[in-house]
Amino acid sequence: MKLLKNGKNILKPEITNISEHGFWIFLKNKEYFLPYKQYPWFKDANISSITDVKLIHNHHLYWPKLDVDLSTEILDNPEKYPLTSK
């Protein structure tokens, strides 16, 4: 018996909007806003660098062009993980 080809990967992260204040990422039926004030690594990045994001092990986001990685735990509970860059 042949197995059917897998359906669309619904876990793939999607950048839904980019503004002068930050960007929105949709993942696992949730949308997160990442303000540049909290996530300064993205502030001067170009659009293709921000939209090139990979989900690794179902809980780890990685932006290869920027060498930035964040766990979904950080996005779900930002108050526990103060991310400050000097």
- Flag whether 63 is in a domain: yes
Kindly report the pTM of this predicted structure.
0.79
The pLDDT value given to residue 64: 97
Q: What is the pLDDT along the chain (86 residues), one digit of tens a residue?
A: 454 555 555 578 999 999 999 999 999 899 999 999 999 999 999 999 999 999 999 999 999 999 999 999 988 988 888 765 55
Contact 47, 38 (CB under 8 A): no
Give the total number of structural domains in the chain.
Answer: 1
- Flag whether 4 is in a domain: no
The pLDDT value given to residue 7: 52
Structural domain containing residue 19 = 14-25+32-80
- Flag whether 5 is in a domain: no
In whole angstroms, how far apart are CA 43 and each of 17, 22, 49, 53, 77?
14, 7, 11, 15, 21
- Flag whether 9 is in a domain: no
Please choose, from the candidates 80, 85, 86, the residue with its C-alpha nearest in 3D space to the C-alpha of residue 39: 85
